[in-house]
Chains A and B, each alone.
Chain A
């Protein structure tokens, strides 16, 4: 499929020149095109922030909701119509800060959605405050003496929760990132792809160069089914590993567990309540002998 199917005509992109969001936008279009996913059967769900604007530069169905709340909406969209490919995409502040609680519980719920997090370790849209993933010592107009909060480790948290798919990518590497995203979308169950991405305006510390210097790819020998090993890798913080850390095999998805699709594959919008059955149910309140 041609990636241009996802291109929007005449759009005014709100990102800074050189922003790490550009390559992610391009990579995601390529991945979806290679997977032959039609715009009409795809829903991009996002929150608020610069990364959360990504869906607007995409010709597809989109639900751009509230700050931090994309995961509950994405979960429900998938549950209402499992035939849709649902991707929740936003930044580190949105997913790990404002939406932190949903991040934890969506992993537990395990809907068959892909969760792409643009992780630039800073708040861009609000002009340069610390994000949950900002590195210790990172100075901002608010964290004037430097960040002293322990950086949030999304991968370690996800693996601790036995997330069904956990990966990290780097926006500077188109090929590998595309392959990771494709695997994440193909994976049945919740899939986290945390993407390192520079913010050229507000993060002068974690630049393209910095990310190149401080990352490496997991070896081919890395056992994706070994949770302890994956967790160990996720806690490395001098050099950050990239790749697919962990896949929890054979986890049932939310859509499988909710039961409404066991006997009937119809999406919810095609259904009507069974009035006959409702009549029988109401009759039980007669409390007959």
Chain B
């Protein structure tokens, strides 16, 4: 409708591709994030998808910017709908400024083209000329590449790499598709219809492009993880897949268990025998692991649990996101025993906390959770290369003497942990209440002393709580409190507010809670909690441990994470 198209921001664009499962949207995401990164642009990508293999409507958002971008926005600057239904899927996010690159056949009749910035781009026609409309996705990727002036050679290289396991014919045709698309994009760029001003960022070159899944999995390797047992469950499976792929290079036992019960009991058995083991799962799978969690509590066996949340109850929304399993992680397991819950907010956290989880578990002989969610594990962006210089694998295994007692009553509650086959001693562990040697007992006085011993560790591990991170002015009047995956969304939203009286406090360790929490909260005149759940579980936890009731709440539980604009608006609503 308009030949003079302009975006809301010229240096920060949101490109959304939308189509059915099976149309290769993920392929486009994979290719474009890489070529944009290589071209020196800051890039962020996240996806929302349906729980199906074919059909439905999925979308992926790719943000490219002159400045670092690390959060999901609702704004769509360029939309590429690859099927009918795609536009309806994202209709609420289409604005008068959105440019829709599509061919007429992807637009349903009831869509008023005259009211939108619609540019006819023959993706399918170009793909069909190459041999099959199946290549439309790569044509679209090529088009975006051409539009943004990426070198064709770069795009072709990544197309070749991506399809390297396929036949030569498939590789050739995809390269041809990228080339065809590139021509279309270059044509658009030359027509000057679409104007933007995204500059290269010199920092990007040396940075890495990572997803949350990869950050957690790399952190696990850095933590000395050499055993992972899991049952596939979205959105947690990526960590198992990643470690299975690296298993040979890093000497990791990566086993797909028959169920989550087996996975958890394997992990505990592996730690017992000296491995550093983890499980990866989501809510329903974790529910099956809970008896095992309690076993770890009783045996005082370390265990690391990556719990990638998705909306429940029950099967819920299998491919969506939520932060509603905090209380599950917190209270899971019969009986009373200490635990640690970490909740990474950004990719560096994902790596660092996963690494640290193994040391903490080993040191305190407790279960340690890495609590993520679908939004966290499925989002990518460029970030500084992970620093390994201060990586320390702290092992707390001792060589046993002949008189070794696994559950020796000690002042700090930690009984030095031996493993079978290392030393002269015997390592006896029992799910029943046990004596110092590990054997079953019904001595009720001893029972009390054993409970006290286990709980003394809880006091001890409080010395090592990761403090919350305050972002913004220390002289804040308003404090936004959040935890886990919302870090970057809150960061951008608070920045958008443009107020120096607002800061935000992000918790990377949600349990046990840092003692500094009270001071931070008391200092604020107004406190707002932001959580991706319906019942403000973290606010309840804060109230329980500090007595402070955070009354202003911004909650979302639709299955999607917050969009930056939405959160900015809701924060504004509460602050004014």
The docked-state distance in angstroms from the alpha carbon of A260 to that of B253 is 7
The docked-state distance in angstroms from the alpha carbon of A39 to that of B257 is 29
A residues near B229, Cβ cutoff 8 Å? 72, 76
With both beta carbons as reference points, the residue of chain A lying nearest to B263 in the complex is identified as A72
Q: Which of A217-270 touch B at CB < 8 Å?
A: 258-260, 264, 267-270
Q: Do residues B265 and A69 form an inter-chain contact, with CB atoms below 8 A? A: yes
The docked-state distance in angstroms from the alpha carbon of A271 to that of B223 is 12
Q: Do residues B269 and A73 form an inter-chain contact, with CB atoms below 8 A? A: yes
Q: Do residues B275 and A282 form an inter-chain contact, with CB atoms below 8 A? A: no
Query: A56-B440, A80-B227, A269-B397 in contact; A64/B258 too (CB < 8 A)?
Result: no
A residues near B205, Cβ cutoff 8 Å? 286
Q: Do residues B222 and A278 form an inter-chain contact, with CB atoms below 8 A? A: yes
Query: A72-B262, A76-B227 in contact; A84/B421 too (CB < 8 A)?
Result: yes
Does B251 sit at the interface, judged by CB under 8 A? Answer: yes
In the complex, which of the residues B269, B295, B391 contacts A275, with contact meaning CB atoms closer than 8 Å?
Answer: B391
With both beta carbons as reference points, the residue of chain A lying nearest to B157 in the complex is identified as A289
Q: Do residues B261 and A76 form an inter-chain contact, with CB atoms below 8 A? A: no
Does A272 sit at the interface, judged by CB under 8 A? Answer: yes
Query: A269-B419, A287-B38 in contact; A77/B291 too (CB < 8 A)?
Result: no
Does B277 sit at the interface, judged by CB under 8 A? Answer: yes
The docked-state distance in angstroms from the alpha carbon of A179 to that of B223 is 45
A sample of 26 cross-chain residue pairs with beta-carbon separation below 8 angstroms, ordered by A number, consists of A43-B420, A56-B439, A56-B440, A62-B429, A63-B299, A64-B440, A66-B431, A69-B265, A72-B261, A72-B265, A73-B268, A79-B255, A81-B420, A83-B421, A101-B261, A260-B226, A268-B253, A268-B270, A268-B276, A269-B273, A269-B274, A271-B226, A271-B251, A282-B218, A282-B385, A283-B385
Does B575 sit at the interface, judged by CB under 8 A? Answer: no
Main secondary structure of the interface of A (DSSP, over half): helix
Known A40-B424, A65-B268, A79-B275; 5 more pairs at CB < 8 Å: A76-B229, A76-B277, A77-B273, A79-B270, A267-B274
Shortest CB–CB separation between residue A258 and chain B, in angstroms? 5
B residues near A264, Cβ cutoff 8 Å? 251
B103-111, B117-125, B207-215: which lies at the A interface? B207-215
Does A116 sit at the interface, judged by CB under 8 A? Answer: no
Q: Do residues B420 and A77 form an inter-chain contact, with CB atoms below 8 A? A: yes
Does B44 sit at the interface, judged by CB under 8 A? Answer: no
In the complex, which of the residues A43, A53, A105, A281 contacts B246, with contact meaning CB atoms closer than 8 Å?
Answer: A281
Shortest CB–CB separation between residue A113 and chain B, in angstroms? 11
Does B132 sit at the interface, judged by CB under 8 A? Answer: no
The docked-state distance in angstroms from the alpha carbon of A41 to that of B273 is 11
The docked-state distance in angstroms from the alpha carbon of A41 to that of B424 is 10
Does B386 sit at the interface, judged by CB under 8 A? Answer: yes
Query: A53-B440, A285-B210 in contact; A273/B250 too (CB < 8 A)?
Result: yes
Q: Do residues A76 and B246 form an inter-chain contact, with CB atoms below 8 A? A: no
With both beta carbons as reference points, the residue of chain A lying nearest to B393 in the complex is identified as A272
Query: A275-B388, A281-B249, A282-B388 in contact; A287/B209 too (CB < 8 A)?
Result: yes
Does A215 sit at the interface, judged by CB under 8 A? Answer: no
Does A207 sit at the interface, judged by CB under 8 A? Answer: no
B residues near A83, Cβ cutoff 8 Å? 421
B residues near A65, Cβ cutoff 8 Å? 265, 268-269, 295, 299, 431
The docked-state distance in angstroms from the alpha carbon of A84 to that of B420 is 8
The total of chain A residues at the interface (CB under 8 A) is 59
Shortest CB–CB separation between residue A59 and chain B, in angstroms? 7
With both beta carbons as reference points, the residue of chain A lying nearest to B420 in the complex is identified as A61
Q: Do residues A48 and B421 form an inter-chain contact, with CB atoms below 8 A? A: no
Q: Do residues A278 and B272 form an inter-chain contact, with CB atoms below 8 A? A: no
Q: Do residues A286 and B274 form an inter-chain contact, with CB atoms below 8 A? A: no
| Contact pattern, A 42-80, Cβ under 8 Å of B = 1, otherwise 0 | 010100100001001001111111100101111111111
The winner among A69, A83, A271 for most chain B CB atoms within 10 A is: A69
The docked-state distance in angstroms from the alpha carbon of A250 to that of B262 is 26
| CB-based closest 8 A-B pairs | A269-B274, A73-B269, A76-B269, A80-B273, A285-B208, A61-B420, A105-B258, A72-B262
B residues near A277, Cβ cutoff 8 Å? 249-250
Shortest CB–CB separation between residue A69 and chain B, in angstroms? 4
A residues near B226, Cβ cutoff 8 Å? 260, 268, 271, 273
The docked-state distance in angstroms from the alpha carbon of A79 to that of B255 is 11
Q: Do residues B253 and A79 form an inter-chain contact, with CB atoms below 8 A? A: yes
In the complex, which of the residues A59, A76, A105 contacts B426, with contact meaning CB atoms closer than 8 Å?
Answer: A59
The docked-state distance in angstroms from the alpha carbon of A105 to that of B272 is 21
Q: Do residues A273 and B221 form an inter-chain contact, with CB atoms below 8 A? A: yes
Q: Do residues A258 and B255 form an inter-chain contact, with CB atoms below 8 A? A: yes
A residues near B259, Cβ cutoff 8 Å? 101
Query: Interface of A with B (CB < 8 Å)?
Result: 39-41, 43, 45, 48, 53, 56, 59-66, 69, 71-81, 83-84, 101-102, 104-105, 109, 258-260, 264, 267-275, 277-279, 281-283, 285-289
B residues near A258, Cβ cutoff 8 Å? 247, 253-255
Q: Which of B5-46 touch A at CB < 8 Å?
A: 34, 37-38
The docked-state distance in angstroms from the alpha carbon of A288 to that of B204 is 11
| Contact pattern, B 116-148, Cβ under 8 Å of A = 1, otherwise 0 | 000000000000000000000000000000000
Q: Do residues B227 and A79 form an inter-chain contact, with CB atoms below 8 A? A: yes
Does B292 sit at the interface, judged by CB under 8 A? Answer: yes
With both beta carbons as reference points, the residue of chain A lying nearest to B37 in the complex is identified as A287
B residues near A76, Cβ cutoff 8 Å? 227, 229, 253, 265-270, 272-273, 275, 277
Q: Do residues A72 and B440 form an inter-chain contact, with CB atoms below 8 A? A: no
Does B414 sit at the interface, judged by CB under 8 A? Answer: no
With both beta carbons as reference points, the residue of chain A lying nearest to B38 in the complex is identified as A287
Q: Do residues B428 and A267 form an inter-chain contact, with CB atoms below 8 A? A: no
Does B566 sit at the interface, judged by CB under 8 A? Answer: no
In the complex, which of the residues A102, A268, A279 contacts B275, with contact meaning CB atoms closer than 8 Å?
Answer: A268
Q: Do residues A61 and B210 form an inter-chain contact, with CB atoms below 8 A? A: no
Shortest CB–CB separation between residue A171 and chain B, in angstroms? 22
B residues near A259, Cβ cutoff 8 Å? 247-248
The docked-state distance in angstroms from the alpha carbon of A267 to that of B270 is 11
Q: Do residues A63 and B275 form an inter-chain contact, with CB atoms below 8 A? A: no
Does B224 sit at the interface, judged by CB under 8 A? Answer: yes
A residues near B429, Cβ cutoff 8 Å? 62-64
Q: Do residues A66 and B292 form an inter-chain contact, with CB atoms below 8 A? A: yes
In the complex, which of the residues B266, B397, B440 contacts A73, with contact meaning CB atoms closer than 8 Å?
Answer: B266
Q: Do residues A282 and B386 form an inter-chain contact, with CB atoms below 8 A? A: yes
| Contact pattern, B 207-246, Cβ under 8 Å of A = 1, otherwise 0 | 1111000100010011111110100000000000000001
The docked-state distance in angstroms from the alpha carbon of A248 to that of B284 is 37
The docked-state distance in angstroms from the alpha carbon of A249 to that of B118 is 68
The docked-state distance in angstroms from the alpha carbon of A56 to that of B441 is 11
Shortest CB–CB separation between residue B91 and chain A, in angstroms? 34
Shortest CB–CB separation between residue B48 and chain A, in angstroms? 23
The docked-state distance in angstroms from the alpha carbon of A260 to that of B299 is 27
Does B430 sit at the interface, judged by CB under 8 A? Answer: yes
Q: Do residues A275 and B222 form an inter-chain contact, with CB atoms below 8 A? A: yes
Q: Do residues B247 and A72 form an inter-chain contact, with CB atoms below 8 A? A: no
Shortest CB–CB separation between residue A29 and chain B, in angstroms? 15
In the complex, which of the residues A73, A285, A289 contacts B265, with contact meaning CB atoms closer than 8 Å?
Answer: A73
Shortest CB–CB separation between residue B199 and chain A, in angstroms? 19
Does B432 sit at the interface, judged by CB under 8 A? Answer: yes
Shortest CB–CB separation between residue A16 and chain B, in angstroms? 17
Q: Do residues A289 and B419 form an inter-chain contact, with CB atoms below 8 A? A: no
The docked-state distance in angstroms from the alpha carbon of A275 to that of B386 is 12
The docked-state distance in angstroms from the alpha carbon of A105 to that of B432 is 26
